[in-house]
Amino acid sequence: MKSLQKIDIVARDLSDEVQKSTYLSSKAKTEKRMAILQKDFPEANRLREIAGEIKQHTLEHLDQYLAQAEASLKANGAHVHFANDAESANATILKIMQENGAKRMVKSKSMVTEEIHLLPYLEKHGMEVVETDLGEFIIQIDDDHPSHIVTPIIHKNRKDIAKSFEREGLGDYNDDPETITRRARAFLRQKYLDADVGLTGGNFVSAESGRVSLVTNEGNARFSVAANRIHIAVVGIEKIIPKDRDFSLFLNLIARSATGQQLTVYNQFINGPRSPGQPHGPEQMHVVFLDNRRTEVLASECREILRCIRCGACLNVCPIFRQAGGHAYRSVYPGPVGAVLSPLLAGNRFPELADLPKASSLCGACNEVCPVNIPIPDLLLRLRDKAKREKATDAMKGTPSLGLWATLCSQPAMWKTALSMGHTMNYIPTELIPHPSARAWQHNRKLPKFQGGEFRKWFRNRPPSSK
Amino acid sequence: MSNDRDSIFSEIKKALDPLPERTPYPQWDDSMTVCHAHPEFNSAKELFAHKLAEASGRYFDSVQILAQFLREEGNTFGYCDPELASLFEGLDGISFETEYDLAKVDTYQFGITTGSTGIAESGTIMLKDGETSARLGALAPWVHVAVIRQEDIVPTIGDAISRFGDDPSVIFCTGPSKTADVEGILIQGVHGPGVQVALVV
C-alpha cells in the first residue's frame, strides 16, 4: 500500500509472537503502575504535577543548576567533562580509557550510550566492552537493538534467549528463566573483575550535592562501579534536579511508573571516588554531561519533553506502541516519548523521522500516566505542524489533502448549504468518489450514516429556558 | 572538553533568554511522598520489618536465629566486617574471614557489613561507603547481611536522604537483586545478593 506510513508497515509485518509479548507485557506494567499509585498515594496526580514543575523549573534555570552540579562534583574530587555531541562524548570516554591504560569496560544499562553509539565506537578503537544488564547483554550477543527503554528485550521470548545462550557457549539449550539468569550471573562475574572501567548512565543529578543517582534492580551497576578503578557516568544535561530532597519525589515516581515497585531494588547516589579506607571501588570518577541537541530542544517549542525521566510508562500505555513494538520507531527512543524526542534529536535529519508524531491517535493516555506530566499530545501536534511547515513529505503519507474541506469549513454560507444536502451522502457509494483523498480514507474506514443538519432548526425552535 | 563547555552554556543561555517568564520551584511538603499504604505499627522497627518482608527481604533481630537460617540454606562460609566479627564469633557451623580476598569472590556464601540506616516506609537498607568495610562483601555473596542498629531505623526516605552527609557513595537496597527481563518473569539474585537480610541489633 503506497499510502501506508513506515510504522504501519512494521506493525503489519510484526510476527504474532512479538506482537503478543509486547502487548501483554505493556498491559501488565500499566495495570501494576495504576494499582500501586492509587494504593500508596491519596494525591498521586498532584505528585506528578509537582514533579513536572520541578523539572520544568530546572530546565528553565539550567545554566545555574548545571554549573552548580559541576562545581559540587569537582568539590568532591570527581572529574567533569562536557560533550557537544556523540562524537565528542565518545572521544572523551576513549581518551579517559587510553590515558589510564584501560582496555576493558563493563557497562550498565544506559539509553544515552545507545544514543551516541558508544559501544561500536569503543570496539572500533580496540576496547572490549560488555553489557551487564541481562536484557542488554542479550541484545549485545544477538547484535540487536533494545525495543523498550526499561525492558529492552520485550520483543524476545525465552526460547529466543535460550538459543542465543546455546550459540554463545553459555551452556546447553535451556529456556528456564532462572537458569538463563544464573548463567548470565556466572559469566558476567569474571567480566566485572577483569575490567578496568565501569560505565553507567545517570537517572538524576542533584545540583546541590552533585550526586548522580542510578536507579536499577539487578545489581550490575553496583558491580560495575564497585569492582573497578574508574567510574564513568554519561548523563544528558537535562537530568539535573535542584536538591537532594527532590530525590524522594522522583525515586518514588520512577519506580512506580516504570515497574510498579515502591522503590527499585538499588538506588545509588554517587558524587566522587571511593572513600578513604574503602578497599573496593573507583579511584577516579568522571561525569560526562552530554548535549547532543538537547539545547536545541530547549530552545524549541517542545522543551517540555526534556522533563522525561525515561520510565517507559507512556510506551506501556500507548495503543500504537502495543501494536507496533519499539523497533517500529526506527530510533533509540520508542513510543510516545520517542515520537517527540527522536525527530527533535535528529537535527537536520528531522524529515526522516517526521512521520513518528503522526503515529498517535492523540488519545492522551501518555500524558495521563506521565510522572512528570509532559503534555505529549500537544507536543505531537506541534511536531506535525513543524513537519508540514518543513514539507517533510514522508510524514504526509496516508493523509489526504484537506484543502477542499478547509474552504468548506471556513465559509459559513457554503457550510450551511452543504449541510442541508448532507442526507444525499447516504445514497452516494463513497468508494466510487474519484477523489484520491476520499479513496485513501475509504480504504480503511467506513463513512457513518449522515444524521446531522438539524441543529440550527432545533436551536431556533427550542423551548424558552425556565429561568 | 572546555570548548564544549562554553558552547553548551552559551546555547542554554540563548535558549532561555527569550522566555518571557520562568517556572518557579513549586512548594511541596515532604509528607506528600510518604507511603502510608500499610497497617499501623507501634514503632519504625516493626514497620521496617513488615516492609522488608514485602520487598522479599529477610528480617532478624537474633544472631542465633540468623545463624540457623544460614545453616539451613547451606550458606556457612563468608566474609564479615572486622568490627562486627565479635557478634558472630563462635557460632556453630558458621565460619568467616574478616579480610576480603578477591580470589574468593565466588567462594564467600555470605557477606556481613554495616547497614548505616534502615528506612521503615520502604524496608530499605542504606549503605554508606565510609561505613562499609568492603563494597564487594556487601554485593558479591549470595546472602548479604546488613547489621543495623535499632536507633538507626528512620521513618521515611526523606529522613534517610538527610543522613547522606559527605559520603561519596550511598546505596539504598530494597530487597534482593532481581530482574524481569525474560518474559516479565521475576527472578531474584541476578548480579547482586539473592537473599537480602537485615539484622537489627
Residue by residue, DSSP assigns A398-436 as TPPP-HHHHHHHH-HHHHHHHHHTGGGGGGS-GGG---H
Of A345, A377, A395, which residue sits at a domain end?
Answer: A395
Q: Which residues pair with B26 in a beta bridge?
A: none
Distance separating alpha carbons of residues A222 and A274, to the nearest angstrom: 13
**A35 in any annotated domain:** no
B28 touches A: beta carbon within 8 Å: yes
Higher pLDDT pick, A2 / A404:
A404
Distance separating alpha carbons of residues A44 and A88, to the nearest angstrom: 40
- Three cell numbers, residue A111: 539509553
With CA atoms as reference, the chain B residue closest to A289 would be: B5
Query: Which residues in chain B are closer than 8 Å to A289, comparing Cβ atoms?
Result: 8
CATH code: domain B39-200 is 3.40.50.10420
Picking from A46, A77, A219, the nearest residue to B139 by CB comes out as A219
Task: List % helix, strand, coil for chain A (3-state, nearest 5).
Answer: 55, 10, 35
Distance separating alpha carbons of residues A390 and A395, to the nearest angstrom: 10
In this structure, are A381 and A426 located in the same domain? no
Average pLDDT of span A321-326:
93
pLDDT higher than threshold 90 for residue A444: no
Binary contact (B100, A280; C-beta < 8 A) = yes
Given the C-alpha cell 560533550, which residue does it identify?
Answer: A83
CA–CA min distance A215, chain B (Å):
10
Number of domains forming the structure of chain A: 3
Identity of the highest mean pLDDT range in A150-154, A345-349, B33-37, B149-153: B149-153
B13 touches A: beta carbon within 8 Å: yes
| Amino acid (one-letter) located at B165 | G
Cα B5 → chain centroid: 35
Which of B144, B190, B195 to mutate: most A Cβ within 10 Å?
Answer: B190
Residue A53, domain extent: 41-292
CA–CA min distance A323, chain B (Å):
17
Find out whether A233 and A105 touch, Cβ atoms under 8 Å. Answer: no
In this structure, are A79 and A153 located in the same domain? yes
Q: Which residues contact A438 (CB under 8 A, 6 or more apart)?
A: A400, A430
In this structure, are A103 and A160 located in the same domain? yes
At A1, is the pLDDT very low, low, confident or very high (cuts 50, 70, 90)? very low
pLDDT means over runs of 10, chain B (201 residues):
90 97 96 91 96 97 97 97 96 96 96 98 97 98 98 97 98 96 91 98 96
In this structure, are A16 and A103 located in the same domain? no
Find out whether B81 and B112 touch, Cβ atoms under 8 Å. Answer: yes
Binary contact (B161, A244; C-beta < 8 A) = yes
Query: Which residues in chain B are closer than 8 Å to A109, comparing Cβ atoms?
Result: none
Find out whether A115 and A341 touch, Cβ atoms under 8 Å. Answer: no
Q: Quick check: ipTM above 0.95?
A: yes
In this structure, are A127 and A86 located in the same domain? yes
Q: A104-147: per-residue pLDDT in tens?
A: 999 999 999 999 999 999 999 999 999 999 999 999 999 999 99
In this structure, are A92 and A206 located in the same domain? yes
In this structure, are A372 and A438 located in the same domain? no
Residues 115-134, chain A: which have Cβ within 8 Å of B? 132-134
CA distances from A230 to A96, A98, A237, A258, B95 (A): 9, 12, 21, 29, 33
Helices A16-40/A246-259 angle, 10° precision: 140
**pTM flag (> 0.80):** yes
Average pLDDT of span A5-15:
88
CA distances from B156 to A244, B51, B98 (A): 14, 12, 32
Of A395, A414, A439, which residue sits at a domain end?
Answer: A395
Alpha helices for A195-235 (secondary structure H): 220-226
pLDDT higher than threshold 70 for residue A370: yes
In this structure, are A135 and A206 located in the same domain? yes
A95 touches B: beta carbon within 8 Å: no
**A1 in any annotated domain:** no
In this structure, are A157 and A238 located in the same domain? yes
Domain ranges (residues) in chain B = 39-200
CA–CA min distance B67, chain A (Å):
25
Q: Which residues contact A454 (CB under 8 A, 6 or more apart)?
A: none
Per-residue confidence (pLDDT) for residue B1, from 0 to 100: 57
With CA atoms as reference, the chain B residue closest to A136 would be: B181
In this structure, are A409 and A391 located in the same domain? no
Distance separating alpha carbons of residues B161 and A76, to the nearest angstrom: 18
Picking from A157, A178, A251, the nearest residue to B187 by CB comes out as A178
In this structure, what CATH number is given to the domain that contains residue A279?
3.40.50.10420
Q: Which strands form B110-114's sheet, in the order they lie side by side?
A: B58-60, B195-200, B143-148, B110-114, B77-80, B95-97
Picking from A180, A225, A251, the nearest residue to B157 by CB comes out as A251
In this structure, are A144 and A97 located in the same domain? yes
